[in-house]
């Protein structure tokens, strides 16, 4: 019973097999870049809201 098991149902193209590490690192870099951009957008909007609330509190407190 010497059967050869195929690892994947859909074999990968040879270019992906040869450049596996480089492909992965490119995808990882792209994903990390997207995550950083997403987080910086969230932080910026959060900071804007905080500044608006702080200014409102100062204006109300000044009266």
Residue that wins the pLDDT comparison between 33 and 8? 33
* CB-CB contact of 16 with 23 (8 Å): yes
Residue 61 has pLDDT above 60, yes or no: yes
Given this model, what pLDDT does residue 20 score? 66
Summarised one tens digit per residue, pLDDT across range 9-57 is: 666 566 555 566 777 788 889 999 999 999 999 999 988 888 888 888 8
CA distance 61 to 48: 20
Q: What residue segments make up the domains of the chain, in order of their start?
A: 39-63
In three-state form (DSSP H/G/I as H, E/B as E, the rest C), the secondary structure along 11-26 is: CCCHHHHHCHHHHHHH
| pLDDT number for residue 41 | 94
């Amino acid at each position: 019973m010497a059967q050869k098991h195929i690892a994947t149902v859909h074999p990968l193209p040879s270019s992906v097999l040869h450049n596996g590490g480089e492909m992965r690192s490119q995808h990882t870099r792209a994903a990390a870049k997207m995550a950083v951009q997403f987080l910086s957008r969230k932080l910026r909007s959060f900071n804007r809201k905080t500044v608006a609330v702080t200014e409102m509190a100062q204006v109300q407190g000044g009266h």
